[in-house]
Amino acid sequence: MESRLEAGPRAEYSNVDVNLSDNDTSTHDGQYNEFASFQQGQRHRRTIVGRIRALLGMSPRRRGKAEGDVLDARSDGLLKKRYEPAWNVRREKKTSAFGWLVRVVWVLPLVLLSIFGILHLLQVFIGSARLLWDLNTTDAFLPDFGTPGHIGAGLANYPTDATRNVQPIPCHSHNDYWRRVPLFEAIHYGCTSVEADVWKFDEELFVGHDTASLTRNRTLQSLYVNPLVDLLDRMNDPTTLLPSIRTTPRGIFDEAPEQSLVLLIDFKTNGAETFPLVLQHLEPLRAKDYLTYHDGTILHSRPITIAVTGNAPFDLILNMTTHRDVFFDAPLSAMFEPPSPLFAAPIPTNEQKYNTTNSLYASVSFTHAIGFPWRGRLSSSQLHLLRGQIRGAHRRGLKVRYWDTPGWPVNLRDAIWGVLMEEGVDVLNVDDLRGAAVGDWRRRVHGFW
């Protein structure tokens, strides 16, 4: 009896426990099945954006949570903060930060690629616009005007059209004979100075950088003298009213007819033997009064100014006392002058060797005289030396030219060009004519012919 009484409550409790466990298990099974079906439905309904977010570790937010779920989450968070070790919390914070870093690493390239893709599409669209619309802005009014047999026959062109819209700029075409079109390419970009290296062989002046590049048909006359005569004859057409208006020939630049073009002749062979032949080859220009000359008292400017360098003999230039139409390229390195007060002392007599009566340029190698700008700019000592040389040359009335300036990288080249022009250099020694032509000191040019 007692055993039955004692066993009865225990049996009842055990039955209750079993029933509770069974009910609990069935409840959990149902919830699991419901959650599994929900997850499966979510997989089927997952969009492309959802897949991308899942790939980036960005799980979508769930809306409409039950109040109990929110409370359970809050209580779990409080228990976690209260009982979880501090090192584990720090680890989770680091993991969260790392997750955001991974997202940024993934998303940033995608954003940049999207931007560049849009720009590329815009470029393609704009470039293909001609296929869709007529973008021809050329005025087609009377297209045959000026041609024989039509209205205005013979009136379409001017004698000075050869250099129309060409704005002269202070640049020197270094080794001009290397260009695809010697002389004319430099004029096309507006350069006011060109260079020709001459070699005397067999009573002829050949043009080239070294003896291996010399050919019979590339001479000083064929590349420079004869083309200049033809161009100046066109700019000074005798059929116009020019002879009755102007007393001196017009220069080659239509927008600046007073601008003289410098032909710098670099003597590569013996100066005393080459100099007389140079004077002889310049006779066609001299005969038409196209050469700048000094008569012993006054300097007369003309369309072409001849300067000589290299092995050119300075003493033979000084011997031309009554009609000097060849001028020297003086050494700039010998003209340094320190900063001086406003009223400086006159130039010593022994330093008056080079002046406007016998010289035009004062030149030197930039790398040798100033040094390479290793820091991307000129140092204070380099600027001091540069300003002193420019000061000395200008006090003598000479034009400053630095050759062997840095040509690469392009941003360094342009920066040095800007400094030289700001400090008072008169002409830039350039190899890249196009790069010099788009500088801030000029407006862009158009077609040459």
Residues 104 and 176 in one domain: no
3-state secondary structure of 206: strand
Q: What is the sign of the dihedral through the CA atoms of 173, 174, 179 and 183?
A: positive
Tens digit of each residue's pLDDT (9 = 90 or more) over 351-370: 579 999 999 999 999 999 99
Q: Under a CB-based contact definition with an 8 Å cutoff, are residues 426 and 401 in contact?
A: yes
Phi, psi values for residue 145, rounded to 5°: -60, 130
pLDDT confidence bin for 152, thresholds 50/70/90: low
Q: Domain ends where: 96, 113, 130?
A: 113
**Average pLDDT for the chain:** 79
Residues 362 and 275 in one domain: yes
Residue 215 to residues 194, 196, 200, 264, 370: CA-CA distances in angstroms? 20, 14, 12, 20, 36
Q: Quote the pLDDT of residue 361.
A: 98
What is the average per-residue pLDDT within 196-209?
A: 97
Number of H helices, E strands in the chain: 16, 11
DSSP state of 297: S
Residues 176 and 281 in one domain: yes
What is the average per-residue pLDDT within 117-145?
A: 66
Tokens of residue 187, six digits = 């004029």
**169 pLDDT more than 90:** yes
Between 319 and 440, the more confident residue is 319
pLDDT confidence bin for 342, thresholds 50/70/90: low
Residues 53 and 194 in one domain: no
Q: Quote the pLDDT of residue 85.
A: 57
Provide the H-helix boundaries in 319-379. 366-369
417 lies in a domain?
Answer: yes
Q: Are strands 169-173 and 191-201 parallel, antiparallel or unpaired?
A: parallel
DSSP state of 251: -
**C-alpha neighbours within 13 Å on the C-beta side of residue 165:** 6
3-state secondary structure of 267: strand
Q: Among 102-111, 121-130, 150-159, 338-347, whose mean pLDDT is lowest?
A: 338-347
Q: Among 65-74, 162-171, 235-244, 290-299, whose mean pLDDT is lowest?
A: 65-74
126 lies in a domain?
Answer: no
Range of the domain at 416: 166-237+248-341+349-437
Q: Quote the pLDDT of residue 37.
A: 54
pLDDT confidence bin for 379, thresholds 50/70/90: very high
What is the average per-residue pLDDT within 385-400?
A: 96
Q: Under a CB-based contact definition with an 8 Å cutoff, are residues 427 and 192 in contact?
A: yes
Tens digit of each residue's pLDDT (9 = 90 or more) over 14-40: 444 444 444 444 554 555 455 455 455
Domains in the chain: how many in total?
2
Alpha-carbon distance of 28 to 38, in angstroms, equals 15
Alpha-carbon distance of 172 to 430, in angstroms, equals 6
Residues in a beta bridge with 261: 304
What is the average per-residue pLDDT within 55-61?
A: 55
Q: Quote the pLDDT of residue 418.
A: 94
Q: Under a CB-based contact definition with an 8 Å cutoff, are residues 303 and 252 in contact?
A: yes
Reported as type and span, the H/E element at residue 196 is strand 191-201
Alpha-carbon distance of 391 to 408, in angstroms, equals 28
226 lies in a domain?
Answer: yes
416 lies in a domain?
Answer: yes
Residues 108 and 173 in one domain: no
pLDDT confidence bin for 54, thresholds 50/70/90: low
Q: Under a CB-based contact definition with an 8 Å cutoff, are residues 212 and 285 in contact?
A: no
**43 pLDDT more than 70:** no
Report the percentage of the chain scoring pLDDT > 70.
Answer: 66
What is the average per-residue pLDDT within 328-343?
A: 84
Residues 286 and 406 in one domain: yes
214 lies in a domain?
Answer: yes
Q: Quote the pLDDT of residue 141.
A: 65
Alpha-carbon distance of 339 to 346, in angstroms, equals 14
Residue 183 to residues 145, 192, 211, 224, 281: CA-CA distances in angstroms? 32, 10, 21, 7, 17
DSSP state of 335: G
